[in-house]
Structure 1
Amino acid sequence: MNMGGSMTQVLPIEDSSQIGHARRTAQQLAEKHGFDATDAGRVALVTTELASNILKHATRGELQLRVLPRASGAGIEILAVDRAQGFDLHACLTDGFSTGGTQGIGLGAVSRQAEVFDAYADARGAVLLTRLYPRSDKTPDRRFGISQHALHHDPACGDVWHLAFDGPRISALVIDGLGHGEEAERAARAGERVFALSPFASPLLLLEDIHHAMIGTRGGALAIAQFDGNTDALRFVGIGNIGGSLIAPDKSRGLASHPGIVGGQYRKAQPFDYAQVNGQLLILYSDGLQSRWNLQDYPGLVHRHPAVIAAILHRDFCRGRDDVTVLVIALEATHG
């Protein structure tokens, strides 16, 4: 299972006229990716309620849409993100509850419509996650999250990510092409194409092949992380300033990279091995994200779905002057 990188689609929700546009956009996205009328209708219903919820509780925020490639077909991810003063999630999960004085279907009903529902709210705001799959798709949800945004909403993004799954093994790539815009994207995509051919090859061999493919482009920073659930180990190699962290409920550790530019020049590359990582979170991020975040500042967030974590890190720590990518993966030996 190879999953090529794509940007997060952002729909601002600042007044009621945008709810209908969001509903139509999400429904059409679902239909385009194989959802039948009933399942696409669920996507439309959930989108409407999440957008309405933003206006009720936060007055403004955004919906973030993503297509989730599957072994057969695809799923649709819808995230509601705001910066309000927080609200009582437990109360809001009661059907019909509304602090806005209107009778919605309630987030409890939303959670039943979606195959995956998770949320996190505190004084900084709230993030609500839904993932919907066709009812005929019984494959378990893959616990990863990605938030990727181009500078100034440029259609070209100099960051790329790629994920591959093979039974208990996961291989992840993040490349940040130098600068931003079309030339940065061209550099990063040249590396991604090589990675996609053999994502579970030795990371040093992959790095060497990617380096050669990126010669003649701007080059970029790179990180490759490979998890093997059978051996409960992670191997990591990085060149440049892609950040990497392993997060456990009680500790976190940074992943070591070497200086240099892939496609340009780097003096050495060395893979680092980390043992007993099952149950931990792997977080990879480009330098469009500040590095001073700490999940301990968000009580309980480490136990939330990786997509919620990625959205919150982007919301609170995006620098706003470069493309930004946040990839969060739950390292679990049970991946099918």
Structure 2
Amino acid sequence: MVRPLVPSLAAADLGRIRGAVSAALTGFLEEQRTTLSGMDPALTRVVDEVCALADGGKRLRPAFAYWGWRGVTEDVTGPAEDDAAVLRAVAALEFVHASALVHDDVMDGALTRRGRPATHVGFAAVHGDGGLSGDGDAFGVGAAILVGDLALVWSDELLRRSGISAPSLARARSVWDTMRTEVTAGQYLDLLRAAGGLPGAQGALTVARYKSAGYTVQRPLQLGAAIAGAGPRAADVYTAVGLPLGEAFQLRDDVLGVFGDPEVTGKSADDDLREGKQTLLVALAEEEADDAGRRLLRESLGDPDAGEEQFAALRDLIERTGARARVEERIAERTATARGAIADAPIAEEARAALDALAVAATSRTA
């Protein structure tokens, strides 16, 4: 099959999927607002934060799960699930994502997220504005941990209440549990790598696989297949698509974290350098750097007091060592591998076109 270089994203029906996902999240959160505000009006601030985290975003994970479902529905027997119920079920992935973002920002000490203060920063401001006693930063971190936990709890509840049948829900739970275990384990591996464990390029790729790649593409695709009632073969097919594509997605995220336009990404291009994120970009730059370059990495990467001059020098080092070019090459190679797997996959043609379009969109994005 000849694949277009830039397939039309219209094939993925993203407008309808995003609208349905947003409606599911909004309806669910309004119910939770009523429940929590009835407990105490102060809890409205917590619901507002989850609403802000769930608002916007690319909705790629629900889209992959939805098309994972659509791709195999023709191959299974028995009654098909209701389309609207499936969209509500896959919307629950957005709460898993929100939880991961909040906890990741706490661990990284990030200041912004999607153009607004990171959750722990926002709650530290609530502490100060309210004239509360104690350490405001500690209050913010504690509140953020609880917000992330609550989002994860709500992901379970939304999946359970989505309206998919009991057999589909039971099948989905197996993938769901694996996915949430992996992303939590991946967060620990990221923490370990930041402390000097899992060194080198392979360590960076291991973190990328479990922290992001799996729950971004592979597991959502498999979740859709499980809801449909497809067997192990579909899971293997979607692994062949999801792992290389998920890795390419995360590597694109890493590049944008250092070289992206803040007006587009919603976060400072200095944050990843200030936080000292040990991405593949950094590992490859360190491999090729001279003594002066390695000294720059040791002294400036992760330095909260670093300024524009140091950040510019770090970006220049990443460029000069060829690290950025090598990462771009890997993104292209992993994307091509995933698109080849999509082209060969025994799935419905409409799903093939949609997944191919999503693959390109996910790895060529600017935000």
What TM-score range do you get, normalising by the shorter chain?
Answer: under 0.3
Structure with the higher fraction of residues in helix conformation: 2
TM-score scaled by length of structure 2: 0.26
Structure with the higher fraction of residues in strand conformation: 1
The structure showing larger relative contact order (alpha-carbon pairs under 8 Å, at least 6 residues apart) is 2
TM-score scaled by length of structure 1: 0.28
Q: Which has the larger radius of gyration?
A: 2
